[in-house]
Amino acid sequence: MRAGIWTAGAVAIVVLATGVMTLAPANSQAKKEAPLVTDGDAAARPWKRYNGWPARDYSKFNTLANLASPPAPKEPRKIAGPIEGDAKKGAQLVADRNRGGSCLACHVMGPAGGANLPGNVAPDLSEIGNAGREDEWLFNYVYDGRVYNPETVMPPWGTHGLFTDDEIKDIVAFLKTLKAPAVFKTALDNPDKRAAPVEKRENLDPLENPGMWTVDKAQELWKQAGSKGAACVTCHATPETQFKSWAASMPKWEPRVGKVLGVEEFVTRHAKATTGADWLMETDDNRAMSVYLHFLANGEPIKVDVASAGAKAAWERGKELSARKVGQLNFACTDCHGISANKWIRGQWLGEPKGQYDHFPTWRTSLQAVWDIRQRFQWCSVNIRGDELPPDAKEYGDIELYLASQNEGLKLSVPGIRH
Amino acid sequence: MADAPKIRVPKTAKKGEIVEIKTLMPHIMESGQRKDKDGKTIPRKIINKFVAEFNGKPLFSADMDPAIAANPYLQFSAKVNESGTFKFTWTDDDGTVTTSEQKIEVA
């Protein structure tokens, strides 16, 4: 299977794709460039979603690579007469975690079916029943709020098929019962009083962070010869000095491949070209190497190239992609980690972009696994009910560069440790 | 490759000092209570015994049971009167015995 991914015998021939180079000392420059396999994919194809992740098919909605979501309606739907829904059912629906988090993820809503930990991304609706809103207005705001506010981050629950018309009517009936400020059972339940999470664990202590164990593993891999007889150590005898800052300069626009490469994809392509090792992205060996190479650059401030022509264009694309609405929930990166950053989405804290990169790859205590940044991107997509891309997708490269640039100056501390 | 145990013992101590020792054994500690996707019980596989020795003399031993979480971590104190070697031994259900040693200088 793997043989099919790399064109058989495709030894990297370093081609400098920088156009005509009449005066460039081609030899010396070619020597400086690290060999890379420039063709083929750096991850499994067809890409298969990880075990244990939701298997739902989101192909009817936008991804970072493809536009597919249904268009926003231009007009509110006409609703004849008052809405007669079941408020009790509505109270359950607004807190239904199987509907993309539902309303309570962002709104405090009075008693809301007895559920706990509402979010505070959006207005408190505990007294919406006093607001004198028409039934039609309430229905349409839930069905697709964009008809009233094109800039809203609220998912189009009806247009995107998360709730049926009847369910939205039940929700409207519940909204009309909300006439008193929410009473919180505990201080923790009130998202405005809930303290922001602080990560205090010693992430570089192997007794605290099992992610550190992958450093030992990588050091063994470093000495392990690939199919070509060479090992990393053949050329990189002193990784501690040779890679003291390298990872902090990644990701990087790579003209030979025509995309932004993070540490993980660089390792795949470079190892294939030099030692012959098959370290596809999102395999344990690749993750271990990525942790190790980042680990070697710990303490170095992140500084990525966004100035050269190719990098600047990639950064611009990354910025644009991070504002693209994706998935059934119709969220852009910037919806959660921009407009709504530093707020609660149900019981989860939404961080701002700065601080979301310096600890990757990171150990995830809830999953007992190391995740690199691309897997984190993939989870964001699936979590907002959109199809993820393969980890080596060029769109992720652009977004990674944009994210890294927003983390400029932060010092690497890898492997991180997070829930 | 199985992950090696992680140990923290001070390199030096004063005679009679009580030192803090940390040990962590990477292990899945499968309880034997869980079922797989097909409803079949996942067989138990845990570290069932831990022994700490100093210069060949037992300090203490601990029997472990299935409720112990993955990667069992034990932290304890020992009074050291002489230089020597701590030896830690973990016994797996499958009979595998893993040992780790650490020297301490007592001045």
353-372 of A, contacting B, C-beta below 8 A: 368
CB count within 10 Å of CB A106 equals: 24
Q: What are the tens digits of pLDDT across the range A143-164?
A: 999 999 999 999 999 999 999 9
Same domain, A236 and A340: yes
Confidence band of A179 (pLDDT split at 50, 70, 90):
very high
CA distance A399 to A356: 12
CA distance A39 to A239: 27
Same domain, A278 and A416: yes
- With CB atoms and an 8 Å threshold, state whether A207 touches B6: yes
A16-30, A53-67, A224-238, A255-269 — which is least confidently predicted? A16-30
- Which helix (H) or strand (E) segment holds residue B97: the answer is strand B97-106
Give the end of a domain, one of A142, A157, A189.
A189
Q: How many domains does chain A have?
A: 2
Confirm if A242 and A7 have CB atoms less than 8 A apart.
no
Confidence band of B1 (pLDDT split at 50, 70, 90):
very low
Give the end of a domain, one of A189, A221, A244.
A189
- With CB atoms and an 8 Å threshold, state whether B4 touches A216: yes
CB count within 10 Å of CB A312 equals: 14
Confidence band of B2 (pLDDT split at 50, 70, 90):
low
- With CB atoms and an 8 Å threshold, state whether A216 touches B70: no
A197, part of any domain: no
Same domain, A35 and A124: no
Give the end of a domain, one of A167, A189, A211.
A189
- With CB atoms and an 8 Å threshold, state whether A210 touches B71: yes
Q: How high is the mean pLDDT of chain B?
A: 94
- With CB atoms and an 8 Å threshold, state whether B1 touches A206: no
Same domain, A226 and A359: yes
Same domain, A181 and A212: no
- Which residues from chain B sit within 8 angstroms of residue A368, using beta carbons? 70
Q: What are the tens digits of pLDDT across the range A351-371?
A: 999 999 999 999 999 998 999
Q: How far apart are the two ends of chain B, measured CA to CA in Å?
A: 38
A194, part of any domain: no
Looking at residue A43, which CATH number applies to its domain?
Answer: 1.10.760.10
A81, part of any domain: no
Confidence band of B107 (pLDDT split at 50, 70, 90):
confident
Same domain, A103 and A43: no
A79, part of any domain: no
Confidence band of A32 (pLDDT split at 50, 70, 90):
confident
Is A128 exposed, middle or buried (CB count within 10 Å of its CB: 0-12, 13-18, 19+)? buried
- With CB atoms and an 8 Å threshold, state whether B73 touches A207: yes
A78, part of any domain: no
Cis peptide bond upstream of A71, omega within 30: no
pLDDT of A31 reads 54
Whether pLDDT at A18 is above 90: no
DSSP B27: -
Non-local (6+) Cβ contacts of A198 within 8 A are none
Q: Specify the 3-state DSSP secondary structure of A376.
A: helix
For residue B28, give the chain A residue with the closest CA.
A368
Same domain, A246 and A355: yes
The alpha-carbon gap from A82 to the nearest alpha carbon of chain B, in Å, equals: 48
Same domain, A153 and A302: no
The alpha-carbon gap from B6 to the nearest alpha carbon of chain A, in Å, equals: 7
Confidence band of A12 (pLDDT split at 50, 70, 90):
very low
Cis peptide bond upstream of A46, omega within 30: yes
Q: How far is CA B97 from the centre of its chain?
A: 11
- With CB atoms and an 8 Å threshold, state whether A368 touches B8: no
A80, part of any domain: no
| A406: its two tokens | 């927003």
Same domain, A209 and A152: no
Note the ipTM here: 0.81
Q: What are the tens digits of pLDDT across the range B88-104?
A: 999 999 999 999 999 99
Instruction: Choose between A6 and A207: higher pLDDT.
Output: A207
Q: How far is CA A296 from CA A85, A258, B24, in A?
A: 60, 27, 24
Confirm if A290 and A373 have CB atoms less than 8 A apart.
no
Which residues are registered as beta bridge partners of A345?
A348
Q: What are the tens digits of pLDDT across the range A270-298?
A: 999 999 999 999 999 999 999 999 999 99
Span B51-71, average pLDDT: 95
Residue that the structure tokens 């247009």 belong to: A159
A320, part of any domain: yes
Range of the domain at A33: 1-69+203-419
Same domain, A417 and A281: yes
Q: What are the tens digits of pLDDT across the range A197-224?
A: 998 999 999 999 999 999 999 999 999 9
Q: What are the tens digits of pLDDT across the range A366-395?
A: 998 999 999 999 999 999 999 999 999 999
A207: nearest CB among B1, B8, B70: B8
A210: nearest CB among B1, B22, B26: B26
Same domain, A38 and A107: no
Task: Determine phi and psi for A125, rounding to 5 degrees.
Answer: -105, 15
Q: What are the tens digits of pLDDT across the range A97-135?
A: 888 889 999 999 998 878 889 999 999 999 999 999 999
A412, part of any domain: yes
Structural domains in chain B, CATH included, are 6-106 (2.60.40.10)
Measured on CA atoms in the order A318, A367, A263, A13, is the torsion positive or negative?
Answer: negative
Same domain, A62 and A116: no
